[in-house]
Amino acid sequence: QVNLLQSGAALVKPGASVKLSCKASGYTFTDYYIHWVKQSHGKSLEWIGYINPNSGYTNYNEKFKSKATLTVDKSTNTAYMELSRLTSEDSATYYCTRSRYGSYGTPFDYWGQGVMVTVSS
Amino acid sequence: DIVLTQAPLSVSVTPGESASISCRSSKSLLSSKGITSLYWYLQRPGKSPQLLIYQMSNLASGVPDRFSSSGSETDFTLKISKVETEDVGVYYCGHRLEYPYTFGAGTKLELK
């Protein structure tokens, strides 16, 4: 069965960086893009960007271009998102999700369990 | 960016009754490929979002047929018939027409 397993909660200091992981299983990793979505407490969802695990190609929401860096490790079927120069505005739950490669408009059909990032001194 | 406006922001429903949620887009979501790029997700309390409807009117796998969705190019409605306890949560519409993908503010469904 498809599973996207995310790393545990993180408490980080302002100005620091954090690297989140999303390990995929139950499907062919390179057949699906991995997207990352931010949800601030009690708020809606914001799309951060996606990565093509096969080529490493990325596409970012302009709002997050200087904040997030997406990478993958095909050998371990794991996607990563590094968030840099953290501020309190980055405190949120971050989800990874997938959409099928090569088909237009395919939905985000499976989601990770989410990881809470808290930025505090 | 495309703005998706949901209404109402919250709805209280008696179990067994129906509920409707509206999503209005600031731009037509009909793509050049003839696909309407509108999706509905449910986020139950403390859980991740889950896909309910894709491409405006297609039911996702495993989703009960009490859920249905319809609309035009800019105005969409999610209907839940015979609401059950498990339907409680926040419903989001989202699009994938162009970058950046965006979501509505969410509609919280509660039971009376």
Distance CA(B74)–CA(B51), nearest Å, equals 20
CB contact under 8 A, A62 and B92: no
Average pLDDT over residues A3-14: 96
Return the pLDDT at B22.
98
Q: From CA B48, how far away is CA A35, in angstroms rounded? A: 14
pLDDT of residue A45: 98
CB A33 within 8 A of CB A45: no
Cross-chain CB nearest to A113 (options B48, B55, B103) = B48
Q: Is B77 exposed, middle or buried (0-12, 13-18, 19+ CB in 10 A)?
A: middle
A41 CA: distance to closest CA in chain B (Å):
11
User: Could you read off the pLDDT of A33-81 as tens digits, one per residue?
Assistant: 999 999 999 899 999 999 999 999 999 999 999 999 999 999 999 999 9
Q: What is the overall mean pLDDT for chain B?
A: 97
Q: What is the pLDDT of residue A104?
A: 80
User: Which pLDDT score is estimated for A102?
Assistant: 79
Count of CB atoms within 10 A of residue A66's CB? Answer: 10
The reply to whether residue B51 touches residue A113, judged by beta carbons under 8 angstroms, is no
Question: How far is Cα A109 from Cα A98, in angstroms, rounded to an integer?
Answer: 6
**pLDDT for the residue numbered A42:** 86
Annotate B31-62 with DSSP letters as a single string: -TTS-B-EEEEEE-TTS-EEEEEETTTEEPTT
Percent of chain B with pLDDT over 70: 100
Give me the pLDDT at residue A105, please. 82
Which residue do the tokens 């950046």 mark? B100
Residue contact A106–B94, C-beta within 8 A: no
Candidate from A104, A106, A111 with C-beta closest to B48: A111
| Record: contact A105-B60, CB cut-off 8 A | no
Taking the C-alpha atoms of residue A96 and residue A90, their distance in angstroms, rounded to an integer, is 16
Interface probe with B: pick from A44, A60, A61, A100, most Cβ of B within 10 Å: A44
